[in-house]
Amino acid sequence: MAADAAQLAERPRRRGPDRGGRSGRDRGAHVSAGGRAQRVAIVCPYSLSVFGGVQGQVLGLAHALRQRGFETRVIAPCDGPPPEPGITTVGPTRRFPSNGSIAPITSNHLAAARTLEALRNFAPDVVHLHEPLTPGPTHAALVGTDLPVVGTFHACYSSGYNKWYAALRRPLQRMIDRLTVCTAVSPEASRDVQTAFGVDCRILFNGVEVEHYARAEPWPSEEPTIMFVGRHESRKGLDLLLDAFAALDRPARLWVASAGPQTEALRARGVPGVEWLGRITEAEKARRLRGAAIACFPSIEGESFGVVLLEAMAAGTAVVASDLTGYRAVARTGDEARLVPVGDVAALTATL
How high is the pLDDT of residue 162? 67
**Percent of all residues in the chain with a pLDDT value above 70, rounded to a whole number:** 87
pLDDT tens digits for range 109-155? 999 999 999 999 999 999 999 999 988 999 999 999 899 999 999 98
pLDDT tens digits for range 143-181? 998 999 999 999 876 555 567 777 888 888 999 999 999
DSSP state of 235: G
* Phi/psi-derived region of residue 201, left when phi > 0, alpha when psi is between -120 and 50, beta in every other case: beta
Q: How confident is the model at residue 311 (pLDDT cuts 50, 70, 90)?
A: very high
Least reliable range by pLDDT among 36-40, 153-157, 221-225: 153-157
pLDDT tens digits for range 242-263? 999 999 999 999 999 999 899 9
Least reliable range by pLDDT among 58-62, 128-132, 235-239, 333-337: 333-337
pLDDT tens digits for range 269-292? 999 999 999 999 999 999 999 999
**Percent of all residues in the chain with a pLDDT value above 90, rounded to a whole number:** 64
Q: How confident is the model at residue 53 (pLDDT cuts 50, 70, 90)?
A: confident
Q: Which residue has the higher pLDDT, 306 or 251?
A: 251
Alpha-carbon distance 267 to 225, whole Å?
Answer: 18
Alpha-carbon distance 33 to 27, whole Å?
Answer: 15
For 81, residues 6+ apart whose C-beta sits below 8 A from its C-beta are: none
DSSP state of 125: S
pLDDT tens digits for range 179-221? 999 999 988 888 888 888 989 899 999 889 899 999 999 999 9
- In the CATH hierarchy, which fold is given to the domain comprising 210-351? Rossmann fold (3.40.50)
Task: Find the angle CA(11)-CA(175)-CA(140) to the nearest 5 degrees.
Answer: 85
State the amino acid at position 108 in one-letter form.
N
CATH superfamily, domain 2-203, is: Glycogen Phosphorylase B; (3.40.50.2000)
**pLDDT for residue 4 is more than 60:** no
- Domains of the chain by residue range: 2-203, 210-351
Q: Which residue has the higher pLDDT, 126 or 104?
A: 126
Total-model pTM:
0.80
Q: Which residue has the higher pLDDT, 16 or 345?
A: 345
pLDDT tens digits for range 314-335? 999 999 999 998 898 888 777 8
Q: Do domains 2-203 and 210-351 have the same CATH topology?
A: yes
Alpha-carbon distance 63 to 47, whole Å?
Answer: 18
CB 112, CB 140: distance < 8 Å: yes
Task: Give the 3-state secondary structure of residue 96.
Answer: strand
Q: How confident is the model at residue 32 (pLDDT cuts 50, 70, 90)?
A: low
Containing 297, the helix (H) or strand (E) segment is strand 294-297
Task: Give the 3-state secondary structure of residue 41.
Answer: strand
